[in-house]
A and B are shown apart, each in its own frame.
Chain A
Amino acid sequence: MSAHEYLIRGARLVDDRTVDLRLSGDRITEVGSGVDASGATVLDADGLLALPGLVDLHTHLREPGFEQSETVLTGTRAAAKGGYTAVFAMANTSPVADTAGVVEQVEALGRAAGYATVRPIGAVSVGLAGEQLAELGAMASSRAAVRVFSDDGHCVADPLLMRRALEYVKAFDGVIAQHAQEPRLTEGASMNEGALSGQLGITGWPAVAEESIIARDVLLAEHVGSRLHVCHVSTAGSVEVLRWAKARGIDVTAEVTPHHLLLTEDLIAGYDARYKVNPPLRAEEDVLALRAGLADGTIDIVATDHAPHPVEAKDCEWDAAAFGMVGLESALSVVQAAVVDTGMLTWADVVRVMSTTPARIGRLRSHGQELAAGANANLVLVDPSASRAFGLGDLAGKGINSPYLSRTLPGRVHATFHLGRPTVLDGAVLPAEAVSAGVVPAEG
């Protein structure tokens, strides 16, 4: 098994050591200085930062059912482009990922593509309808070994169903990832409720609709002793509720999206549907509270909520537009702009919130490992000193509904390695044949 040997020369680690890394097969075999390059393809990483491959706990790959928006192949290409080596694929496909069959299919598609490890998320309720528990146990014991369950796109609003789901997944160390949105308080809502929504005549999505569900769910999680994860936290009040819950010892984790760390609602003043997203962009004080929450650990991770849509779903009037933004390709740059370049997070913190902790929440042991001999060879080489006007060429999935087009963003992903094989080199995504050629056939 000597086919793929790589030597990454002179990369900087987050602890500021400059090292060579030798990759052999799917492992890192040596980390140090003056590592022997014989038989290996050498990559000069001078000036580049080596990070463990990023892990996204919240991705919409759209397949099966919405292949006009994205497929497992195109979505994982976008992931690789952004430095991700693992993505958790949300369950709101068609059919919904609420059975073992669907999650096994998605997992197999990811394995065949080879760009990233695809971990399917199972639906909490049948058809995301919020009425009856999906076959959580069957999905957990399937080949896809699902550990994260979510009705994302919909809130598990029924408190009894939420309680049962939280309890039930304890049997296999699962976690419920809640899309916290009180449905009655957000009927017809499509932007943050505040002065601007009143002026624009757009139905407001009040912060309390998120915060009240988080408050309820942390109390439920405490009561039944379960693990809860909160998706895409977007308000200052949510950060406060989570801070209180963690101080109380409740087993809750939370994510924030890159866009909620950088963008504010005033972008909506021109009714540009690229900024229509759920939960909506909020006010400046929310953005600052989310950054502070991420810095102090109240918010555990950054997750993209990568939500690709076909062009026509955004090229229309506000009400007719779909919710969501693509985010995989831009996430690391946006995080750098929002919290690294502003001095709130170190690169070691970035590894924690974008790799180590999301892998741990999702119980994905092969990712988020420290770059050391013996670790799985999932890593990304980043040039943090780069700066570029983010453009269509920076996108690698099907969706071009990025809110960052023409914006100047810092940093650039130079190379990505997934299980020892490059998926991105010199900033370019490698062709599908080259990547899938190294794929290990699925077991059993």
Chain B
Amino acid sequence: MRHLLSTRNLSRDDAVRILDIAEDMADVATREVKKLPTLRGRTVVNLFFEDSTRTRISFEAAAKRLSADVINFSAKGSSVSKGESLKDTAQTLEAMGADGVVVRHPSSGAPQTLAQSGWIDAGIVNAGDGTHEHPTQALLDAFTIRRRMHGSAARGRDLDGVSVVIVGDILHSRVARSNVWLLTTLGASVTLVAPPTLFPVGMGTWPADVRYDLDAAIDDVRPDVVMMLRIQAERMRAAFFPNSREYARVWGLDDARTARLAPGSIVMHPGPMNRGLEISAAAADSTRSTVREQVANGVSVRMAVLYLLLAGGGEV
């Protein structure tokens, strides 16, 4: 694997292999010394054009557990905010000998532009680009689902027969996009639920069902997984929905809806959560909730990705 830009072009075998390697990486975290020498002497740059402490420290922990040297380049307040172009930044990192660049960028497609440009030789990991994709989030979500479904027998398994309902701002969500492609590739069935204003037009080509009624989705699909997406406050001001109270009432995972979920089903959220808006405190803190597991699994999955990109892990 040369770069990880999107989950769209991952095959089922690719995805299962990444998840299996992530299982191996998770085992490392249970040891007394949580560290592998695999990427010793390799340099990973976390190039963040948007603030995201959670994602950045997850990648940082992953790289450090593989013994890579980590450079954090926060483009805010740096030469970039003084007008330096993506090209010049990339060439600077190239000159410094970066082997891998983990990039978070507000512009959709910026990681792909980096990967195709010839400005830099390093392997590129998309850590979230605009409203496009966030592939490692989807991989950690798939990993989390697989572990909850299959426990210690998870290795080698896909997600055949698993039903997932994703609720929230599909239009602006890179998490939703990456999850739709990945989860369906792995065999899960995906239902998307949102107010009609928060779906992109032309959803007919997506391999997912589209519904507007969360209650009906819960009762009809009987989902194994309910994934709630974060609602940004600014959507309200742009007339996507009237106000947060109405959103919470119609599309929030409140206590009553949580209580109707099938036994054994799980509740996921990529964080950070708006408690009381898209998810109630009880749902977030219940035993169904995988929010903290997702954070822990994120490190394992990112270790697997960095390993495959930088350790000559061969073709995935």
Contact = CB atoms under 8 A, between A and B. Distances in A.
Interface string A315-329: 111111000000000
Contacts of B204: 195
A323 B137 CA distance: 32
B202 A318 contact: no
Contacts of A195: 201-205
B76 to A, nearest CB: 16
B85 A318 contact: no
A142 B70 CA distance: 65
Interface in B109-158: 109-110, 112-113, 116-117, 129-133
Nearest to B129: A201
A198 interface: yes
A206 B200 CA distance: 11
B3 interface: no
Interface residues of A, number: 23
Contacts of A203: 131
Given A201-B130, A315-B87, A317-B109, A196 B202 contact: yes
Contact of B132 (A194, A201, A206, A273): A201
B45 to A, nearest CB: 17
Interface in A168-209: 193-204, 206
Contacts of B107: 317-320
B202 A201 contact: no
A318 B200 contact: no
B1 to A, nearest CB: 19
A271 interface: yes
Interface in B92-111: 105-110
A196 B203 CA distance: 9
A204 B171 CA distance: 11
B174 A201 contact: yes
Given A199-B177, A201-B131, A201-B132, A317 B202 contact: no
Given A193-B201, A318-B108, A320-B85, A200 B113 contact: no
B205 A316 contact: no
Given A317-B113, A319-B130, A320-B86, A204 B108 contact: no
Nearest to B177: A201
A316 B206 CA distance: 29
A205 to B, nearest CB: 11
Interface of B: 8, 85-87, 105-110, 112-113, 116-117, 129-133, 171, 174, 177, 200-206
Interface of A: 193-204, 206, 270-271, 273, 312, 315-320
21 contacts: A196-B202, A198-B171, A198-B201, A199-B177, A199-B205, A199-B206, A201-B109, A201-B129, A201-B131, A202-B131, A203-B131, A204-B201, A270-B112, A271-B109, A271-B113, A312-B85, A316-B87, A317-B105, A317-B109, A318-B108, A318-B109
Given A195-B201, A202-B131, A319-B110, 6 more contacts: A194-B202, A198-B201, A204-B201, A315-B87, A317-B110, A318-B110
